[in-house]
Structures are given as structure tokens and as C-alpha cells.
Amino acid sequence: MPKSVYVLNGPNLNMLGQREPEIYGSESLDDIANRTKKHLKTLGFDCEFRQTNSEAELVNWIQEAGRDGAGLIINAAAYSHTSVAVRDALSAVAVPIIEVHLSNIFTREPFRHHSHVSAVAKGVICGLGAHGYLLAADALKELIS
Ligand code: DHK
């Protein structure tokens, strides 16, 4: 039975396609989910692709990914910069974690330059738009195999 990779998305990413497309691109989150699921399937994984605007729900899903997943791709969005709870949940997870951001957070406002997620991720991909999710899937394949 294929193992699942969890792909967890934080606040406002449900607005992709409509939200600041010059920064986040014109694809919707559904488009990204479909592409990511398809790519993970070619790599031999099932995919749990989810989005929430709630910090508590994100923490619960990170814990679930640690129990039931083979790996975790996370775009914690604004919670990357603010949430010690998200970082602590990630620290407790044994499966490999790849952090993704659509935009290049280092070329944006200074408050985006620090992510609490980065220190507990195996790797960070940012600035490559939706393609970053596919690159994260490739990285997990290497790390899990
Ligand atoms: C998404 C967000 O919503 C922002 O809060 C982050 C991230 C960047 C992204 O680029 O995917 O600062």
C-alpha cells in the first residue's frame, strides 16, 4: 500500500489565484493540489493535501502527519513567521519535513525573512511558485527511499 505524503497549507492560501497574483501566481490551490497529487503518485505516494486558516487545526494535522504520514510538505504561510506552536508541533514529528513558500520571502518585507519552520525542516524551497511543491515532493522521495 502506498504511503501518504501530507501537504499542509496555512492561512489565506485558499485565496490563491485571486490574492495578489503578482506575488503568489495565478493558479488556484486546487490547481496546485491536482499537480502535486499527480506528481506524488508518479513517485509512488498517496497525498493528503489540505489547507486551513486555523492555527489549532494546522497543529492537529501536523501531529496526524507525524503518526500516519511518510513525509510532510508544509507552507505554513503567515504562521511560518509567528507560530511557536506550529514549530513545536513540527519538532515532535519524526518524518522528513520540507518547507515551501510560493514567493521569495527574503526579497519581501523584513517580517517575512524569519520562519520558525525552517529550523525544523530538512530543507526550504521558496520563490519558485507552485513548482516548489513538486520539487519538495522530489526531495521527499530522495529522503524517504
Ligand atoms: C504565503 C503567505 O501567505 C505569506 O504569509 C508568507 C507565503 C509567504 C508564500 O510565499 O507562500 O509570508
Ligand 1 centroid to Cα of residue 50, in Å, is 16
Q: What's the pLDDT at 108? A: 97
Cell of 46: 498517496
Cα(first)–Cα(last) distance of the chain, in Å? 15
> Please, what is the average pLDDT of the chain?
97
CA distance 74 to 121: 9
Q: DSSP code of 4?
A: E
Q: Where would I find the beta strands (DSSP E) of the chain?
A: 3-9, 45-51, 71-75, 97-101, 123-126
Q: Which of 75, 98, 111 to mutate to test the pocket of ligand 1 (most atoms within 8 A of CB)?
A: 75
Ligand 1 centroid to Cα of residue 23, in Å, is 9
pLDDT tens-digit series, residues 67-100: 999 999 999 999 999 999 999 999 999 999 999 9
pLDDT tens-digit series, residues 9-66: 999 999 999 999 999 999 999 999 999 999 999 999 999 999 999 999 999 999 999 9
- In the residue annotation, 101 being an active-site residue is answered as yes
Kindly state the greatest CA–CA separation across the chain: 44
CA distance 88 to 42: 32
- In the residue annotation, 24 being an active-site residue is answered as yes
Mean pLDDT, to the nearest integer, of 122-128?
98
Q: What is the pTM of this model?
A: 0.97
Cell of 73: 510538505
- Within 10 angstroms of residue 20's Cβ, the number of other Cβ atoms is 11
Domain topology for 4-144: Rossmann fold (3.40.50)
Nearest atom in ligand 1 to 112's CA: 12
